[in-house]
Amino acid sequence: MIEIDNQGWLTKTTKCLSPNFNQRPSNTKISLLVIHNISLPAGQFGTGYISQLFTNTLDCLAHPTFSDLQGVTVSAHCLVDRQGLITQYVSFEDRAWHAGVSTYKGKENCNDFSIGIELEGTDTLQYTHLQYQSLARLSHLIMQRYSIVEENIVGHCDIAPGRKTDPGQTFDWSGYFSMLG
């Protein structure tokens, strides 16, 4: 059974440490869970490029669409791949760099108080049942550990409207929330 240890790391999951994080501001309560999507190149899965992006090892010449990623330093706390496997990049206790310019309920800089979960996917392709199962289990653990309420689980599109669209129109919010119980 997967758990979150005292340092904010998942047990029994793959870890791929990202250098793209820093400490949260002191006395910050983690209160928001943000769901994203990513695929590199767009619409291609299982390439390994996402981990390379999050660890600053991506060869930006490997694909023509990667030129915009030169010098980009981003991360998420976790990625759920198409098979439902979870990889953790940053401790939940630390601030991952996933939200960018963002606001939620009048509070700016959502990275300060949020946890970011990436789903391997796109805005227009259906996510897999295995991804929903893993996301629901992971979300439940995070909600219990950090006392995050369901209303504070949002998409990247909700905290950066007009700038971001993920997890996209194919994300089944009602099905996901029903899996949370």
- 10 Å CB burial of residue 136 (0-12, 13-18, 19+) is middle
User: How far apart are the C-alpha atoms of 160 and 34, rounded to whole Å?
Assistant: 11
User: How far apart are the C-alpha atoms of 51 and 134, rounded to whole Å?
Assistant: 18
In the three-class reduction of DSSP (H, G, I as helix; E, B as strand; rest coil), residue 114 is classed as: strand
- 10 Å CB burial of residue 6 (0-12, 13-18, 19+) is exposed
Residues found in the chain: 181
Q: Which of 3, 93, 108, 118 is catalytic?
A: 118
Start-end of H helices in the chain: 49-54, 129-146, 156-159, 173-180
Q: HSE-up of 41 (CA within 13 Å, CB side)?
A: 8
Q: How far apart are the first and last CA of the chain?
A: 18
Q: Has 151 been annotated as catalytic? A: no
Active site residues: 118
